[in-house]
Amino acid sequence: MIRSLANPLAAVPTVAALAAGAIFVTVGLYWVRVFNTSPEPVAVQVAQPTPLDVSAGTRLFGPGPGRPVRDAIQLRGILAFDADHAAAVVSHNGEAVRIVRLGSTVGDSVKVVEIRARSIVIDSNGARQEIAMPPTQQPTAFIR
């Protein structure tokens, strides 16, 4: 021990080791305190998510399976002279009744592609749908 006091540089590693040990113990006790304390409750307001707009997706491949276009067109009657010369009496979106020939359009992009005895087939952006005539009270009233 006397020899270490004679040389003051010999005590530097011992003092540094003691200082590092003291810092290690202090930091360890601090983290023990941090991890063992329960946090105070914080009031957090959760933002409500906005509802998604799916209207664009419903129009991506044309209207759905029949409803929008089909409900907009009402078939009132069929005029058929022969298979190649037929016409349909239709009403679109509650407008006045008009006669539509085979191959012509009804509304914006609805095309009449086939006229049958009691129904028509329309093509709406590639989707084909059949619209039948509504049942009548007297089914033989206009047949000759």
- pLDDT tens per residue, range 117-143: 888 899 888 888 898 888 776 655 555
Q: Return the pLDDT at 68.
A: 55
Q: What is each CA distance from 21 to 17, 33, 43, in whole angstroms?
A: 6, 18, 40
- Burial of 100 by CB count in 10 Å (0-12 exposed, 13-18 middle, 19+ buried)? buried
The whole-number average pLDDT for the span 72-81 is: 83
Q: What is the pTM of this model?
A: 0.48
The CATH class that applies to domain 67-132 reads: mainly beta
Q: What is each CA distance from 117 to 34, 75, 87, 88, 129, in whole angstroms?
A: 84, 12, 11, 10, 15
Tokens of 33: 């305190």
Q: Is the pLDDT at 64 greater than 70, yes or no?
A: no
H/E stretch holding 123: strand 119-124
Pick the residue with more confidence: 9 or 12? 12
The domain spans of the chain are 67-132
In DSSP terms, 110 is beta-bridged to 106, 124
What's the first-to-final CA gap in the chain, in angstroms?
Answer: 134
Q: Is the pLDDT at 108 greater than 80, yes or no?
A: no
